[in-house]
Chains A and B, each alone.
Chain A
Amino acid sequence: MTDLEAGSSIPELRVTPDKYLPHRYAGASGDFNPIHIDPEFAKAVGLPGNILHGLWMMAQVARGNAQLAKGDPRALKRLSVQFRGMGFPEQELVVSGTVKEADGERVIIDTVAAQGDNQVIRNAEAEVRVP
């Protein structure tokens, strides 16, 4: 059983990706799309600069939710996200969430990830097993 109930907030996760994080994530994930790692290419296709990988931001949402179970990788059962904005290196990303349903160990959380006012992930829903 958990003391989480509908409407309660989960602890925020704050992380600032450094300038070269997209390069490390590209290597780790295999996604070398130049919009993530080459600022000149990104500008040439109309972006303000190289942008964070959406799936790296999703991984931060996953981590923010898994914190409820001390980062146990078995805890996160399901996560759905919508990518709705561009994230940038060297800006703090804040993952915050509100409990939508809590039924025994099964908790459903609505999550948002934002850089300032820029919501980069919206309508994220996680199902976490919190022992």
Chain B
Amino acid sequence: MPVKTDAIGKQWEPVTYEVGAEKVREFANAVGAANPVHHDHEAAKSAGFRDLVAPPMFCVVYSARAMGPAILDPEVGINVATMLHGSQEFEWGEPVCDGDVIATTATCSEIYEKDGKGFYVFETVSTNQEGERTVKGTWTNIVRGV
């Protein structure tokens, strides 16, 4: 059965995330990011950041929230029970600091079938309260047995 491709180009409503120092510290501890700029406000400011700064991969915390509605959208038609995270790309811009408010918009960029698997590619773009881009993500989910 061919995959449904009607959702290509579909964009979902932006999802916002408020960045807080304790969440950044918790994430930094979980991934082993020991640089004091992720833990201490003054260390971050002395290093030239606006405030305590998130590790680059913190982008999954604020942008993954925008992916939920896209993956579960019946128009996309992903069978989440057989879904795998195939590949991931992030391109970073402005660092994310304590107090930032990040808005992320997800778009379905590609749906195709290859070797009996469905490939669902989404793009997320995240911007801060000043309108500066903090990250662009490309998420490829693979669904077996389509």
Contact = CB atoms under 8 A, between A and B. Distances in A.
Interface of A: 15, 21, 24-25, 27-31, 54-56, 58-60, 62-63, 66, 70-74, 76-83
A60 B30 CA distance: 10
A56 B38 CA distance: 17
Interface in B16-52: 23, 26-27, 29-35, 37-38, 47
B interface SS class: mixed
A55 B57 contact: yes
B85 A21 contact: no
B91 interface: yes
Interface string B47-87: 10000011111001100110000000000000000001111
Most chain A CB within a 10 A radius of its CB, from B34, B56, B60, B90: B56
A39 B54 CA distance: 31
Contacts, number: 93
A72 B87 CA distance: 25
A83 B73 CA distance: 24
Interface residues of B, number: 33
A50 B144 CA distance: 20
Most chain B CB within a 10 A radius of its CB, from A15, A60, A78: A78
A29 B27 CA distance: 7
Given A78-B90, A82-B87, A21 B33 contact: no
A59 B64 CA distance: 14
